Amino acid sequence: MSPEINLPAGIRSRFVPEINGLNMHVLEAGYESPARPLVLLLHGFPELAYSWRKVMLPLAQAGCHVVAPDQRGYGRSTGWDGRYDGDLASFRLLNLVRDAVGLVAALGYQSVAMLVGHDFGSPVAAWCALVRPDIFRSVALMSAPFAGPPPLPTPHLPRRVADPIHDDLAKLPRPRKHYQWYYSTREADADMHHCPQGVHAFLRAYYHHKSADWTQNKPFVLASWSAAEIAKLPDYYVMDLGKNMAETVAPEMPSATQIAACKWLPEDELRFYSAEYERTGFQGGLQWYRCGTSGAFNAELEMFHRRTIDVPSCFIAGKSDWGPYQRAGDPEQTLRKACTSFRGFHLVEGAGHWVQQEQPGETSRLLLEFLQAQR
């Protein structure tokens, strides 16, 4: 049974059927008046459409029709295959783009004034803007920078199958593993869904660990993509080899006093997340990681080699978010190479990874400033 959604007045929940095989659940605001410009918000992992609840009304009050779907594999949207051995191809990036294109059409629009993607929603938004700039007229990427399409294979060199960094991580004095490859294992869903502390406590520790509330989140630019260098990342990104994610975040469980003081994610709001993930498990979202780590769908992305995002774009992240710094190099320069009409790189004070929840006021201001500059 689905839990009740405690939404602010002015945001409604409904279903949009027959979207690329999905019965898609969406939250929307600013739906009362016709002919408003459409803003589409794409969440990441482990989040939901609900993650946008704090920025939807400010965007709607500025005259927009704001829509946030539960993406394929998440929440109340149905029609996706949640088995580990199920249809992995349906979760590949270009099919997620098709989901977004289908939703726009079903809503009765020919274009989107602003597309916003956070965390794993950011690469989906980036590919939407790259593949269909006629539909997605501007794009705001959050937390995860976009480096452009992967290169075509060099004719005289074999395609690399496995990155040696994983063996190198395992050989460190403190043996480690990368979280994306852990998320791709068969065990990852059960490790979190059936962890000893329960889903609610797991998510509390996970969200806390990646937020500005965890004061050790002080990101910096990594010098190289090497085991010794990426081992400097927090252990929610580069984990101890022998631990799962629930075990990794458990020591960072905030105290009762810290939980009571957490205004950006009070217990009743976290309870909605935990109830939804208790109901669905995590495998739907984990399939997205598997598509990337398997390399099985790189060939269709390589066809866009050297294509850039040419619509107006910007980037927003929390100043305490390690997300932009997971790879070596300056994320702003990476974005400026991939986006030819780049309008701003913003790091928000007092926010970690969950920037639109931790600092919704400043996030809303930046999004509206970006959107209004396009008009």
Nearby residues of 344 by Cβ (< 8 Å), 6 or more positions away: 314, 315, 366, 370
Place of tokens 């400026």: 336
Question: Treating both helix axes as pointing N-terminal to C-terminal, what angle do 267-280 and 198-209 enclose, rounded to 10 degrees?
Answer: 120
Dihedral (Cα; 3, 100, 129, 32), 10-degree rounding: -70
- The low-confidence residues of the chain, meaning pLDDT below 70, are 1, 156-161
Q: How many C-beta atoms surround the C-beta of residue 263 within 10 A?
A: 7
What would the pLDDT profile of 68-93 be if each residue is shown by its tens digit? 999 999 999 999 999 999 999 999 99
pLDDT at 18: 97
What beta strand segments (E) does the chain contain? Answer: 11-19, 22-29, 38-42, 65-69, 114-118, 139-142, 176-178, 238-240, 313-318, 342-348
Strand partners, 14: 26
Ordered domains of the chain (ranges, CATH): 11-153+303-374 (3.40.50.1820), 165-287 (no CATH)
Would the pTM count as exceeding 0.95? yes
Amino acid at 2: S
pLDDT at 158: 60
Q: Is 223 helix (H, G, I), strand (E, B) or coil?
A: coil
pLDDT at 200: 98
Give the per-residue SS3 of 65-87.
EEEEECCCCCCCCECCCCCCCCC
pLDDT at 154: 80
How far, in Å, CA of 173 to CA of 295, rounded?
A: 29
Whose CA is closest to 123, among 362, 288, 358, 344? Answer: 288
pLDDT at 60: 98
How far, in Å, CA of 312 to CA of 341, rounded?
A: 5
